[in-house]
Structure 1
Amino acid sequence: MTAPALALSSPAAAPTRPRTSRPRRILMCRPEFFEVSYAINPWMNPDRPVDTDLATTQWERLRALYTEAGHTVELIDPVPGLPDMVYAANGATVIDGKVLGARFRNPERAAEGPAYLDWFRDRGFTETRDPRHVNEGAGDFLATDSWILAGHGFRSSPESHREAQEFFGRPVLGLELTDPRYYHLDTALAVLDGDEIMYNPAAFSPAARALLDRTFPDALLATPEDAAVFGLNAFSDGRDVYLPEPAHHLAARLRARGFRPRPVDLSELLKGGGSIKCCTLELRP
């Protein structure tokens, strides 16, 4: 889907303005059954040993950081046989209290979509939708104040962009991903605050790069080195930015813009192709 014919503008960023942390409501899934038994992205290697206990310890540290910061963390029970369910961001997209379910491209993950949608319905979310088109949740749908940024090229289909725009009633900007290492939008781009983002230009098609440049001229651009350690798979509450420990240059640049980097070691979960943001589904009111 091409972007809607709307004026492409973004408020000028103020890199040194004071930052404010806003409490968030987050859904997570403990990696109780995490393993790498198949390969559906370039990071996964079934022959590489995985330490589930270590993955759980690292995940618990992320959860503790969120709760210590005043965020509300809710849990969905993991399901045996769904090792990737820990990547809660893929389970749905929640904006304005409305829930668009996920429809996975790979059969190995297909059962995750209904499991997550059941969780929302059981907890009183009334505006929910079973998707018609393939979308992999908030891994490919990222909301700024003005837009829903929507990735396609490897997982979510372009047709899902129109479905999201109609359901949420917000303008959607379609962005084509071209590097298989960054197969979901949240591996190549992160929303920092308002309409302020950071991203890896090399992960996108020339048309998507041009669109991002016009719409977000003050975006923070990641180095290839920081992108390669999943530095953009980060979660921001408006001040604190939780990002992978090895993304040192990115952390320094965030600090220069007034953010507070919160490095987290999720190296074991990276073996499945995910990190901080993948494990974090924000329930946006």
Structure 2
Amino acid sequence: MTEARVSTRRHYLMCEPRYFAVEYAINPWMDPTQPVNAEVAVKEWTELADTYRRWGHRVDFVEPVPGLPDMVFAANSGTVVGGRVLGARFRAPQRAPEADHYRRWFVDHGFRDVFMPTRTNEAEGDFTWTGEVLLAGTGFRTDPAAHAEAQEILGVPVVSLQLVDPRYYHLDTALCVLSPGHVAYYPEAFSPGSQQVLRHLFPDAIIATQADAECFALNAVSDGRNVVLPLEATHLADRLIADGYEPTFLDIAELRKAGGGPKCCTLEIRNQVDNSV
């Protein structure tokens, strides 16, 4: 019998891609020689934000800044657990100024415990809260030492995972938390040891295929029942339906030109430490 899935109300922070462009290449998906349409990117992003609100979630917005074309990828700019905010420190100099704009948003909106990292840390790009532990990716962006720093600042247990495929340069391109204790992931994105860790932690995980990973199906966002996916993620959607989830398909073709998808655009604000994902 399929398990009944339950959605929980979420609080998301997003940033409109008003100045979206691909002007440099800091991941294998970016090609500055290919045309990019910011108007199309805004439409894709708007449909994502509208979807969250239709599901009953709260969505707040950071004002975009000219000259920061990747600021739309809000997930890379903060990790919030129990109302404590750990900001970002980007590896690529092109994105470095984004961190302070997000820091100021949190301070201006009454968050008292806002900490900026001393180690390179690309936030929810590489940090994923499962409801019990913080999964922490490394290999391409986030410094391994940032994992210990996150544990000290956020006060939650951290499990390190090694990424090995440069196409999946952030943890959120290779793994998605669907509900407390339940994830989907693409094993080949991880080192052999990290694959063993994931099998141990999540024996009932949904195992994604190469085709799933390549269309950014794992850069999904779930509220425990509803899951937003790229249009092409039909295989993973079938698996989700079989496990009691309700997928919603969105076009992210323009945003994907910069190596981003639904999760990249979505920073989750968790005000309590509990088993909510």
What is the TM-score with the length of structure 1 in the denominator? 0.94
1:264 pairs with 2:250: yes
C-alpha distance in 2, partners of 1:195/1:98?
Answer: 22
Asked whether 1:237 is paired with 2:211, we answer no
Which of residues 22, 27, 30 is equivalent to 1:44?
30
1:133 CA drift (Å): 0.4
**1:105 aligned to 2:91?**
yes
| RMSD between aligned residues | 0.7
TM-score (norm 2): 0.97
Give 3-state SS (helix, strand or coil) of 1:109's partner: coil
Q: Does 1:187 align with 2:187?
A: no
- Which 5+ residue runs of structure 2 have no aligned equivalent? 272-277
**Cα distance, 1:123 vs structure 2:** 0.6
Q: Aligned partners of 1:237, 1:131: CA distance in 2, in Å?
A: 28
Aligned to 2:4: 18
Q: Tell me the amino acid that sits aligned with residue 44 of structure 1.
A: M
Match of 1:277 among 263, 268, 276: 263
Match of 2:107 among 109, 121, 131: 121
**What percent identity do the matched residue pairs reach?**
53
Q: How far does residue 127 in structure 1 lie from its aligned partner after superposition?
A: 0.6
In structure 1, the residue matched to 2:44 is: 58
SS in 2 for 1:80: coil
User: Matched residues in 2 for 1:138 and 1:226: separation?
Assistant: 20
Q: Which of 151, 160, 180 is the equivalent residue of 1:174? A: 160
Q: 1:146 corresponds to which residue?
A: 132
Displaced runs of 4 or more, over 2 A: none
| Secondary structure in structure 1 of the residue aligned to 2:19 | coil
Letter in 1 for 2:66: P
Superposition deviation, residue 66 in structure 1: 0.7
d(CA) in 2 for partners of 1:190 and 1:47? 31
CA–CA separation in structure 2 for the residues paired with 1:195 and 1:96: 18
Q: Matches of 1:145 and 1:66 in 2, distance apart?
A: 20
The counterpart of 1:92, out of the listed 70, 78, 84, is 78
Match of 1:216 in 2: 202
Task: Report the Cα offset of residue 218 of structure 1.
Answer: 0.8
Gaps of 5+ in 1: 1-14
Q: Deviations over 1:43-70 (max 9, x none)?
A: 0000000011011011111111111111
- Corresponding position of 1:72: 58
| Amino acid in the other structure paired with 1:164 | A
Indicate the residue corresponding to 1:8 in structure 2: none
Report deviation, 1:16: 1.5
Distance across 1 between alignment mates of 2:225 and 2:5: 5
SS of residue paired to 1:254: helix
May I ask how many residue pairs the two structures share in their alignment?
A: 271
